[in-house]
Amino acid sequence: MGRLMRLRAAISAAASVVGGEEHKGPLGGVFDMHDSSDRFGQTTWERAESEMQRRALGLLLNKAKCREEEVDALLAGDLLNQCVASAYGLMSYDIPYIGLYGACSTSVEGMMLAAALCTGGMSDRVAVVSSSHNCAAERQYRAPVEYGSQRTPTAQWTVTGAGAFLVEREGDVLIRSAMPGIVVEKGISDAANMGAAMAPAVLDTLLRYFEESKTRPEDYDLIVTGDLGYEGGSILCELMMAEGYDIRSRYNDCGMMIYSRSGDDKHAGGSGCGCAATVTASYLLPKLARGELQSVLLIATGAMMSPSSVMQGDAIPAVAHLVHLCAPCGKANEHREIEH
């Protein structure tokens, strides 16, 4: 059986909610809902994040024309201490709640587990939700945004956004397999350089995936990471090159896609649970559903440190979970079948 999970599931619907900076970015038009104030009608940033999750799941259920009682479980998580954005945001739904913590890898961790539950017949329909909020994350991990602290060139910008996905046995985009990540720690201890801490985790997962699936980068239209950003993305390409894989022509990163590069203080690109979640929900999945992309490796990466662990002098461990997404069969006819 091994560690590559062979799956027979699909994403049947997806929804996204973002803040003002994300709406101003190059993908701004694709997201389902935004609030330029980032407040979503709430009095604290943490509650605003919860409200984004609540709205993302509501939009998802509407799109899928699905009632609460038809969803067997919610798999959800976020970056806040004790994952309160998810617990509070989703508690108005009468759906079993299974909490995850994979830092910024949470969306793909959730897709992988949801697809496994549906493949195995344990669940008919599982929703996956994850989020991050720039102002809530920055004050928890670094300093309140209102202080105006200067950021380093390798720093990433935590995305304000929530993404939601409905996973069942059939749907617009197939989940063919998944490779769960192994925690990797290579000595990076700079919390303003998460890309460098997370790139080695992607390397580890990709190498194991290519080996177990007996495929190569050329077998995929796109290899896309969740939030390595410009710094981590270029490190990954170099690390892969040293292992004999040139992924540069088909590599991209949600954190590089969500903001424009110049002049808006985003430095090394986007990060946060909401980064991979919103870009996948509203940009990548529609392209797969329309057949514009046929076969995609989506790898979301989490930096698993806490402010305490960093203050105690520990380096930053990271994990990278992978799912293989495919266009529906009709639209992928031309594409070489690379698995099974």
Residue whose C-alpha is closest to residue 271's, from 123, 147, 158, 149: 158
- Pick one of 26, 41, 96, 144: the residue that binds a second copy (CB under 8 A): 96
- How do strand 161-168 and strand 5-19 relate by DSSP bridges? antiparallel
Cβ proximity to a second copy, 1 vs 242, nearer residue: 1
Cβ proximity to a second copy, 225 vs 282, nearer residue: 225
Write out the binding residues for a second copy, residues 226-285 only, by CB under 8 A.
none
Write out the binding residues for a second copy, residues 108-137 only, by CB under 8 A.
109, 112-113, 116-117, 119-124
Cβ proximity to a second copy, 41 vs 96, nearer residue: 96
**What is the DSSP code (8-state) at residue 22?**
H
Cβ proximity to a second copy, 106 vs 294, nearer residue: 106
Write out the binding residues for a second copy, residues 284-303 only, by CB under 8 A.
302
Q: Residues near 109 by Cβ (< 8 Å), separated by ≥ 6? A: 75, 77, 100, 102, 180, 300, 302, 321
- Pick one of 17, 90, 188, 288: the residue that binds a second copy (CB under 8 A): 90
Cβ proximity to a second copy, 121 vs 263, nearer residue: 121
| CA–CA dist 269, 77 (Å, integer) | 22
CB of 48 to a second copy, least distance (A): 12
Over 109-137, what HEC string results? HHHHHHHHHHHCCCCCEEEEEEEECHHHH
| CA–CA dist 37, 6 (Å, integer) | 42
**What number of residues does the chain have?**
340
Per-position x/- string for 27-56, each x denoting binding to a second copy as judged by CB under 8 A, each - no binding: -----------------x-xx---------
| H or E element that contains 218 | none
- Written as one letter, the residue type at 251 is Y
The residue range among 12-20, 94-102, 286-294, 329-337 that interacts with a second copy, by the rule CB under 8 A, is 94-102
Q: How far is CA 301 from CA 201, 257, 275, in A?
A: 7, 16, 11
What residues make contact with a second copy under the rule CB under 8 A?
1-3, 5-7, 44, 46-47, 72-73, 77, 79-84, 87-88, 90-91, 94-103, 109, 112-113, 116-117, 119-124, 179-185, 302, 304-309, 312, 314, 317, 319, 321
